[in-house]
Amino acid sequence: MMQIAAFLVFLAMGVTNLLAVQAGLTAVLGVPVLIALVVAVPVFYFRFVGSAAGIVGAIVGWQMSAPMAVLLFCWPVLVYGFLRGGAEARTFLARRAA
């Protein structure tokens, strides 16, 4: 069940990122929506370039604030950091207790 939920979350994140890149290309370059989608797919493929383009697209194309756009595309990294930090803290405390 957890794998299905994770798959659906990352699928939604990917579609959102792709649409944000498309909106940014449409807003900045003024190209038609279908051409922007065709150009957005290879840009979206590269991990950090696609995320950066998604953030810019959300700001320019969707008129989102910069902090909200960064949060929209970077929340998995923040959650991972929080979970990893908690695991490291538990490991450290377990060593001290032993």
Instruction: Enter the tokens of residue 25.
Output: 């290309």
Q: What is the mean pLDDT of the chain?
A: 90
* Dihedrals phi, psi of 42, to nearest 5 degrees: -70, -30
The confidence band for 74, taking pLDDT boundaries of 50, 70 and 90, is: confident
pLDDT for 50 equals: 87
Range from 37-46, 61-70, 89-98 carrying the lowest mean pLDDT: 89-98
| Residues whose CB is less than 8 angstroms from the CB of residue 37 and which lie 6 or more positions away in sequence, other chains included | 18, 22
In this structure, which amino acid lies at residue 71? L
Residue 14: closest CA among 49, 44, 34 = 44
User: How would you label 1-30 residue by residue, b for 16+ Cβ within 10 Å and e otherwise?
Assistant: eeeeeeeeeeeebeeebbbbbbbbbbbeee
Specify the pTM.
Answer: 0.78
Q: What is the pLDDT of residue 76?
A: 82
Which range has highest mean pLDDT (6-10, 21-25, 46-50)? 21-25
Percent of all residues in the chain with a pLDDT value above 90, rounded to a whole number:
56
